[in-house]
Structure 1
């Protein structure tokens, strides 16, 4: 499977940007090579010793620490049972867990992704290790409970750490159910998601009025609407933040195609454009964990490196935006 132009959690929720309709973008391999090569040729400075464990951030409600780079499953994990389709994904999950990743996010909207994740984790003997997150995406209490029960069994083999109301669909109904499930110990955390900035006002109200544990939202170096009110609200109210679309469905790689990684990226231990984009996101203190998706083990390892070493401060983040002409 080639996910070089659909390399993140993307825009699964609107259903209007299928991979086949997108203008061809750059090869992820080309972008990584350009970044690494330029850093070497331009004297980016000595590499920092790699820490043995990925940095973590706490879930504000409980203090539980989560590794800062997660894994999305939209498109990439929607495959059949064939070995040739599943082998790269098995490798992705294996390396993800070995390198210290934990957060794996999916949805019943992603067709077979939940089932594939569950079966592969079971095959690896790792059903209990990850922090599993899925969503409810339907109308009505009974339908929601049925869908969530299916997700828990398919993906979590009987457990689920986080359940989120997908795109705020019938949000009040499902939040009431999720509260009951949480109190009964059937799930550990409750959250909401939306893929559109136009929903940020409603999400902010929920953040301030409901005792949410998580919000999942789109945020990137070029999509910074969440910085105005929603991210500050999450920080104020102690709500953890998962970030979808960190690479803008691969569009960020198109913007830097053929461009060298700036030598000052070494100042925050960055050696590729993927790390550049992810470290920008992690430079915001309200963010808990971006969740890029990939079926390519090499891309996964590149993404995970963003969770090690230094992060850019606010001044550097502004410099990063300016460097891309945004």
Structure 2
């Protein structure tokens, strides 16, 4: 993500991250400084910044490829976060996450989320068995029906696994504005713990119905595509971060400002930007502490990206 690299090199965030040498050593964040929100169906607290793995974690299982991803994971945990979101359709990402989570007894500190993207019960069972094996765990914290594929069948299977104690939470996902109405249709007839969808400064359709519905019905939300796969950085290319972002919102980078915009919506449980760079992971974590924008400040942020 070259555009983000340039922004970090020319922002106050670089000084903030340098102070977290090498990235986020254990204890770098003050106790309890990373914001947490409740999972409505249980009351369990979940840190608001997580890690997505689409594209970034589909790498070879060798030391050269795993080394930077190991630092990303350690930065996540040292920063007080826990959520990793992956999927069988992300190539080798599940196996990579499983291998890294097995190191240094990290599994107990993680909230592992994956997905099922199969048609038919038998195919779903096979895929889930492979996910348990790849992630090297007997219990998955969250399994989601990916992109609403054979939703009724797979949710039925996931409910059985939840009753058996092998899956703690279940949910559904999509990544396009055009699928939001379909997500709502499923939510209206199928009880789930989580729903994952796209939401960002540049894609605000979720504010109309999806986020209010989840708030009203007590459904946890995971937010994907917070940077629109780096497209939002292009909108502010060459622009300095406004001074008021740091003074009023404790934001020292454009990425933090984008994430704070999302987190300011009370129906958002956590946001899961993907990265393979530990510096970016640390920068993302900084968005989960300090002040969040109010309605007027969110409007000002949106105007910066218009």
**Residue 33 of structure 1 corresponds to which residue in structure 2?**
9
Structure 1: give runs of 5+ residues left out of the alignment. 5-25, 41-49
Give the distance between the partners of 1:259 and 1:306, measured in 2 at CA: 19
Give the distance between the partners of 1:174 and 1:127, measured in 2 at CA: 25
Q: Secondary structure at the match of 1:61?
A: coil
Q: Secondary structure at the match of 1:27?
A: helix
Give the distance between the partners of 1:168 and 1:97, measured in 2 at CA: 30
Q: Secondary structure at the match of 1:81?
A: coil
CA drift at 1:51: 4.1
8 A Cα contact 1:282 1:289, kept in partner = yes
What do the CA deviations read for 1:219-265 (whole angstroms, capped 9, x no partner)? 00010001100111111110000001001101111111110111111
The reply on whether 1:84 has 2:60 as its aligned counterpart is: no
**Residue 22 of structure 2 corresponds to which residue in structure 1?**
none
Residues 87/141 of structure 1: CA separation in 2 closer, same or farther (3 Å cut): same
Would you identify which runs of 4 or more consecutive aligned residues in structure 1 move more than 6 Å?
37-40
CA drift at 1:156: 4.3
Q: Aligned runs of 1:92-111 on 2, under 5 Å?
A: 92-111=72-91
Q: Secondary structure at the match of 1:124?
A: helix
Give the distance between the partners of 2:157 and 2:102, measured in 1 at CA: 28
Alignment partner for residue 264 of structure 1, among 218, 232, 244?
244
Residues 146/38 of structure 1: CA separation in 2 closer, same or farther (3 Å cut): closer
8 A Cα contact 1:34 1:261, kept in partner = no
The reply on whether 1:224 has 2:200 as its aligned counterpart is: no
8 A Cα contact 1:39 1:260, kept in partner = no
8 A Cα contact 2:261 2:298, kept in partner = yes
Normalising by structure 1, report the TM-score.
0.86
CA drift at 1:102: 0.6
Structure 1 stretch displaced more, 56-65 or 251-260: 251-260
Give the distance between the partners of 1:237 and 1:37, measured in 2 at CA: 37
Higher relative contact order (CA 8 A, sep 6+): 1
**Residue 261 of structure 2 corresponds to which residue in structure 1?**
280
**Residue 276 of structure 2 corresponds to which residue in structure 1?**
295
**Residue 239 of structure 1 corresponds to which residue in structure 2?**
219
Give the distance between the partners of 1:52 and 1:255, measured in 2 at CA: 35
**Residue 105 of structure 2 corresponds to which residue in structure 1?**
125
Give the distance between the partners of 2:276 and 2:250, measured in 1 at CA: 25
Alignment partner for residue 64 of structure 1, among 44, 51, 62?
44
CA drift at 1:94: 1.0
The reply on whether 1:305 has 2:281 as its aligned counterpart is: no
Alignment partner for residue 254 of structure 1, among 234, 250, 268?
234
Q: Secondary structure at the match of 1:161?
A: strand
CA drift at 1:168: 0.2
Structure 2: give runs of 5+ residues left out of the alignment. 17-28
Q: Secondary structure at the match of 1:287?
A: coil
8 A Cα contact 1:107 1:135, kept in partner = yes
What do the CA deviations read for 1:97-153 (whole angstroms, capped 9, x no partner)? 111111100000001000011111112321221000000011000100110111122
**Residue 52 of structure 1 corresponds to which residue in structure 2?**
31
Give the distance between the partners of 1:81 and 1:39, measured in 2 at CA: 33
8 A Cα contact 1:279 1:311, kept in partner = yes
**Residue 206 of structure 1 corresponds to which residue in structure 2?**
186
What do the CA deviations read for 1:166-221 (whole angstroms, capped 9, x no partner)? 00000011111111111111101010001111111111122222221000000000
Aligned length: 293
8 A Cα contact 1:38 1:261, kept in partner = no
Give the distance between the partners of 2:54 and 2:5, measured in 1 at CA: 21
8 A Cα contact 1:59 1:240, kept in partner = yes
